[in-house]
Amino acid sequence: MLLPGDEFVMGSNEFYPDESPVHRVRVNAFEIDRYPVTNAEFGEFVAATGYLTVAERPLNPADYPGVPAADLAPGALVFTPTAGPVDLRDFAQWWRWVPGARWSEPAGPGSTLAGKNDHPVVQVSFADAAAYARWVGKDLPTEAEWEYAARGGLDQATYTWGNELRPDGTLMANTWQGHFPYANQGANGWIGTSPVGSFPPNGFDLFDMTGNVWEWTTDFYHPRHDVVTDSCCAPDDPRVLDPAGSAEPGSAIPRRVLKGGSHLCAPEYCLRYRPAARSPQAVDTATSHIGFRCIRRTPSPD
């Protein structure tokens, strides 16, 4: 979909602190995929190039000092429901490192993509998403481009579709339905990812801009938006290119901004299925709820 360049209000002051401050920005015209990249599409890329995802490569001991060699085997993080209510401050209770987990076996060795060709690909790191984008002659969006697209032309609406969570009782996105992280009734029957396009599009006719899977952007994560306060005009196509300060305390691995929330987002834990919401993610990490979509920037007029 070709989106015209425009000025819009980015961020929110009403939910999580890292979404603030609210500020105006301008983005130039660009084309964006209507759907997240699917398993079938990513499979074509791998078949054509022989690409090995980060989750399929051994970890570099220099990046993980003190970690036993046995724990440096290729793998990824897999969501595992708990048996019952737990302390939601400890995410290690539902995330586990699974050796052998990768995009084609997202839950670990023996799991498959059977019947999921049209689901969004997961277990892809930032480098994997960027490699695919280059292969198809596209790019990954900046945070501002992604949020502009997600808002679908609505001005400061809470959700991609408006301000009401369930307009006329309709579930608008694939998010956790039940009690997190142990009881999920499924979003319109889907537990985990759903086929792309299973839920209504936003005002720009884009699907899954919230829910289903988190999506990578190119911006490095800072705990608040970097806003130029002494400028007379909205910044044009802003982007955060400096990785300094983006890493988690105690780590040297930079983090980039994820947008959109996922099928694991629940009101009591992760109210982030909103266009303003954002989350930091280490660039070397792949999980069972992160995917991406691509854009193509249009040439600037002379």
Which pLDDT value is given to residue 95? Answer: 96
Which pLDDT value is given to residue 59? Answer: 82
Which pLDDT value is given to residue 230? Answer: 56
Domain with 134 in it: 1-59+72-302
181 domain residue, yes or no: yes
67 domain residue, yes or no: no
Residue 135 three-state SS: helix
Rounded-to-5 percentages of helix, strand, coil across the chain:
15, 20, 65
Report angle CA 208, 278, 42 to the nearest 5 degrees: 45
Longest dimension (CA), the chain: 60
Distance CA 142, CA 259 (A): 10
The neighbouring-strand residues paired with 179 are: 183
- The sign one gets for the Cα dihedral 127, 132, 134, 140 is negative
Which pLDDT value is given to residue 229? Answer: 59
Looking up residue 164, the CATH number of its domain turns out to be 3.90.1580.10
Q: Which two tokens stand for residue 196?
A: 């792309």
Q: Do 265 and 175 form a contact (C-beta atoms < 8 A)? A: yes
Give the DSSP letter of residue 62: G
Which pLDDT value is given to residue 228? Answer: 67
240 domain residue, yes or no: yes
Pairing relation of β-strands 23-27 and 290-291?
unpaired
Which pLDDT value is given to residue 300? Answer: 58
Distance CA 283, CA 147 (A): 20
What is the pTM for the complete model shown?
A: 0.95
Which pLDDT value is given to residue 301? Answer: 52
260 domain residue, yes or no: yes
Which pLDDT value is given to residue 71? Answer: 75
64 domain residue, yes or no: no
Distance CA 136, CA 258 (A): 21
pLDDT tens, the chain, 302 aa long: 999 989 999 999 999 999 999 999 999 999 999 999 999 999 999 999 999 999 999 888 887 788 888 778 899 999 999 999 999 999 999 999 999 999 999 999 999 999 999 999 999 999 999 999 999 999 999 999 999 999 999 999 999 999 999 999 999 999 999 999 999 999 999 999 999 999 999 999 999 999 999 999 999 999 999 886 556 678 889 999 999 999 999 889 999 999 999 999 999 999 999 999 999 999 999 999 999 999 999 875 54
66 domain residue, yes or no: no
| Cβ-Cβ contacts under 8 Å for 300 (sequence gap 6 or more) | 28
Q: How many domains does the chain divide into?
A: 1
Which pLDDT value is given to residue 250? Answer: 87
| Cβ-Cβ contacts under 8 Å for 188 (sequence gap 6 or more) | 171, 174, 194, 198, 199
Which pLDDT value is given to residue 112? Answer: 97
| Cβ-Cβ contacts under 8 Å for 182 (sequence gap 6 or more) | 81, 82, 83, 84, 85, 86
Strands, sheet with 290-291, edge to edge from the N-terminal-most edge strand: 279-282, 255-259, 214-220, 290-291
Q: Do 40 and 119 form a contact (C-beta atoms < 8 A)? A: no
Which pLDDT value is given to residue 60? Answer: 82
263 domain residue, yes or no: yes
Q: Which two tokens stand for residue 145?
A: 């481009």
Neighbours of 137 (CB within 10 A): 8
